[in-house]
Structure 1
Amino acid sequence: MTAFEEALTAARTDPPTARRLLALLTIGCRTVDHFEKERASLHEDGVPAAFLPSTRELGRLDPI
């Protein structure tokens, strides 16, 4: 859990870290809704929405 907390803390101020964390947390997402829930969760945890790319911005064109 410590590594995740460290990554989350860094993601709050570092856009590339936020992008990587979102990418990691959404690897298994099969729908846009699931992706958006993960994205919203990071935002609720203090990561600025501007740091969190959309599915297209992340290069994920295939979610349903």
Structure 2
Amino acid sequence: MIYLLDKDTGKAHLAGRKNVPPRYVETSNVMDESSGGLWDVIKENKIINVKNVQEDDLFNYALKH
């Protein structure tokens, strides 16, 4: 997944994805700072690789809410 940060709105928009469950896309297309671990990654300005988004504690926030 690739998220792009809109600095004007402070929201991250899903810009690209591969092998991401449709349910995740539906709930995580646009995310704000209260939306789980994505913001930790944005603040650190790092790239991470997640083997299975459905099982990863950092990113399964959207699947639980």
Normalised TM-score (structure 1): 0.25
Which protein is richer in strand relative to its size?
A: 2
Normalised TM-score (structure 2): 0.25
Which protein is richer in helix relative to its size?
A: 1
